[in-house]
A and B are shown apart, each in its own frame.
Chain A
Amino acid sequence: MMPSALRVESFTAYPTQARALAVEHLGVLKRMPLILAAALLRQVIQYDWSFPAEREQLLQQLGLLQQLDTAAFDSLMSSFAAIPLASDLSKFDWVNHPQPFSEKLTAYLWEQHLSDNYHSAGQMYQQYLEKALPQARPITPRWTIVVIGKGSQPTQYPLFRHLTPYGMLFTQLDPKGALEILSDAVRMRAGRYPLEYGHWYIDGGEPYSAVVDDARLTTMSYARLAPATKREFSLLKEFTNRGSANGSVGPEAVGSYIVGLSPEDLSLKGNAPDAALRYFEVNLITQGAGCQIFSTTFVQWASRECLHRAQPLTLLARFSTRQCNAPMEQLLARDPLQQTQDTEGSLIDADIGAYYTWINQSRLSGADESRFLVWFEDRNLACAISPTLPKGRTSTGAINMRQVLEYMA
């Protein structure tokens, strides 16, 4: 099916709000090259469970495209339209299954050496959107606080070396009460700038008791989601066993099956207003490689996706230790919370995780005003990045966490 053949009935299987959105913008969807239409429908079909920031961006994008005159629209679409598409791809049900379509498209683009063309088209399109729809600055500078090393001892590994060039290293920080000071600061921001899905707390183990019950924060933890990952692997095993009886099960079939899993399938319970979070959690543990088995990967990936999708004003991400490595078969089968922990490796994983979290925060609007702090939990070492602090400097004087936050403000 080509986009020009789209009808109102094409979206019958979509969730309520997604269907209404697609129908409202049917005209513009019909004019798009198939590749871009499928990419947009991948977002549209998730609309009912999207975060406010995602919704706003999608609405703005569709609205902009709808307003373009024919010449400007065709010019914008030309680089996507120039990518040849195999007929079996256009015959695929990309309207109802845009995610599996995307996986097939990726394989096709690699095979045909068209990936560069696709990336280039995507970049041009993105740059156009950035220019036409400049993102509003947040109502207050974003703050991201990353706490690493819970349960780990200091080693020879040089922590924060990726981040130090952009901020100030504190080597004599008083750790006493620091976690409480940080959680207080996060809760205070949540109170001062109330925003739906605007303030997050992600933990690699059991969440910190002082924060966990604060309804103003969106809270996630690896410990809470671990049973859902076990459930996921168990369902997958059933699926592949069923499939194996009828022949081999390829990675594409497995991928499509995973994408179709819902919060209910994974026994993730919540209430209706929390649906976006439940679906976000499902996306994390079904699509984030490694975040089912390693809590460090979970915190890094969850932080990345949270910043990318929810664009929060505040994020507190706290790494814990991860289980020791083992053959994949065992990792997929055993309870990650009951295993021996790799304390040394976890610290290294968390260190790069903190760096990636800073990179991801720096992709959001208002990055030049954003604040970023990483602290080695219960230790004297922290690195703060803020427009108020010099870059690449080290402070060796005694200081407490409250003072660090004041310097950053």
Chain B
Amino acid sequence: MDTLRRIAQQRAVTRRDFLRSVAIAGTASQLLGFAPLRAAALPQRQKTVVVTFGGGARDEETFAPEGQENIPHLMNELIPQATFFTQVVNRGILGHYVATASLATGVYEGFDNFADVAPKNPTVFEYFRKGLNRPANDAWVIAPSNGFNRIGQSDGSLIAPGLGAQVILPKHLLASALGKSYIASPSMNFLLQDNYEDLLFTPPSVEGNLQTAKLTEMLHLSVDDFARHAQTLSSADELSVYVMHQVMKQFAPSLLWITLHDMDIAHTGAYSLYLEGIRRTDRLCGEIWQMIESDPEYKGRTTMLVLPDFGRDSDFSASGNGFQHHRTGDPLSRTTWMMAMGPHIRQNVTVDRPLDSLDLVPTLGAMMNFATPFAKGKPITEVLG
């Protein structure tokens, strides 16, 4: 038992060291103080893309020395261009929907993770649209499952309704499309996997056909084309990124939020599938950045923020079962990271001070110049100057 405690403590202590090591070149610039920002020259029509690296990734399989082989795109392509925050602490409920909703509202929401409810507090999408008087198509959310269908807009108790984001549930979209398409194939069921957190939980059904037709029309996709392309994909997250690309091409929204989720297959206890999910998410993050950099509407004016919603249980927490779940609330399951990249973000810099997950919304508000009155947390100065 003492041995285990010692190992666990050692892991916690070295976390900071190994996370710093991932961007070792950035240490020098940190020691020398921050270089002056080009804040005065911030590009007009600034855009922001938020990617949640979910659902639930541990240091051990990502930025720890033994985990870095799983994230070559983050390590080799993105980190050198990013400011990397080594400690982002989530103090809320560690369920994926409620935690992602908390990220989006800047307040630790307290609702039942499996309930079909909207966040109580205003979302960043509502703040954005209200504060900058933006139309509905300027804020979009690509969400991983039906259970996330209410994430774009709060329950209306604190802000007038009707200011939320457009929410796309790609799997729902595909399921509806498959219902109509002659292309439907059992192999595509892989793309429809909805939930891993509770194997027997069926998320609430979402009102559908009209929305599907409207969405495919809005995205200029025929149902058959959509279904045909989906056949070439191998996971739900790939489908999400494909849909995201369509949204970028059609609407070029200023605020775009995508929640990736494949790695949550860890709940089945299959470590190999969890690693596979992480590697895919890593690749997709690289692809998203390439999409941004190759799209004239986004290139040079987009900030991308990548962060996990939370971690997973430590191997040494007696009440958990290691990577499989995120139930113990131990410090390692609450502590993750964030990377920020974009034209006004310092490159190859590591920041060790702890952030709170709630800092995201006020930071987005400060970056894009809208108020976030109900959000807790503080703007992250390192990305603002």
Contact = CB atoms under 8 A, between A and B. Distances in A.
A363 B318 contact: yes
A367 B5 CA distance: 13
Contacts, number: 116
Nearest to B192: A327
A251 B189 CA distance: 23
A251 B272 contact: no
B56 interface: no
Interface stretch (A11-19, A76-84, A288-296, A399-407): A288-296
Interface in A106-154: 107, 110-113, 115-116, 119
B207 interface: no
A367 B1 contact: yes
Contacts of A297: 268-270
A290 B199 contact: yes
Given A325-B273, A327-B193, A113 B268 contact: no
Contacts of B269: 288-291, 294, 296-297, 300-301, 349
B200 A254 contact: yes
A326 B66 CA distance: 28
Given A300-B269, A325-B273, A115 B329 contact: yes
A352 B198 contact: no
B271 interface: yes
B108 interface: yes
Interface class of chain A by DSSP: helix
Given A300-B269, A329-B189, A111 B315 contact: no
Given A113-B108, A356-B322, A294 B268 contact: yes
Contact of B110 (A112, A294, A301, A326): A112
Nearest to B114: A251
Contacts of B372: none
B190 interface: yes
> Among the interface residues A111, A328, A332, A362, which one has the most CB atoms of the partner chain B within 10 A?
A328
Contacts of A116: 329
B270 A332 contact: no
A44 B185 CA distance: 51
B18 interface: no
B145 to A, nearest CB: 12
Interface size on B, as a range, is: 35 or more
Contacts of A326: 189-190
Contacts of A289: 199, 267-269, 324-325
A359 B7 CA distance: 11
B71 interface: no
Interface string B60-90: 0000001000000000000000000000000
Interface in B209-267: 265, 267
A54 interface: no
B268 A290 contact: yes
B200 A355 contact: no
Contacts of B322: 352, 356, 359
Contacts of A351: 271
Interface residues of A, number: 52
Interface class of chain B by DSSP: loop
B299 interface: no
Contacts of A248: 204
Nearest to B322: A356
Given A304-B321, A345-B272, A327 B329 contact: no
Contact of B267 (A290, A304, A347, A355): A290
Interface in B99-157: 108, 110-112, 114
A368 B1 CA distance: 8
Interface in A173-212: none
A319 to B, nearest CB: 12
Interface string A247-273: 010110010000000000000000000
> Among the interface residues A290, A322, A344, A356, which one has the most CB atoms of the partner chain B within 10 A?
A290
Contact of B270 (A110, A113, A296, A359): A296
B2 to A, nearest CB: 8
Given A119-B329, A367-B1, A345 B199 contact: no
B110 A356 contact: no
Given A254-B200, A325-B273, A359 B268 contact: no
Contact of A110 (B3, B93, B265): B93
Interface string B306-341: 000000000110110111110011000000000000
> Among the interface residues B108, B111, B201, which one has the most CB atoms of the partner chain A within 10 A?
B201
Nearest to A289: B267
B274 to A, nearest CB: 9
10 contacts: A111-B93, A116-B329, A250-B114, A254-B200, A294-B269, A328-B199, A330-B189, A345-B276, A359-B4, A363-B318
4 closest A-B pairs (Cβ-Cβ)? A297-B269, A345-B272, A290-B269, A290-B268
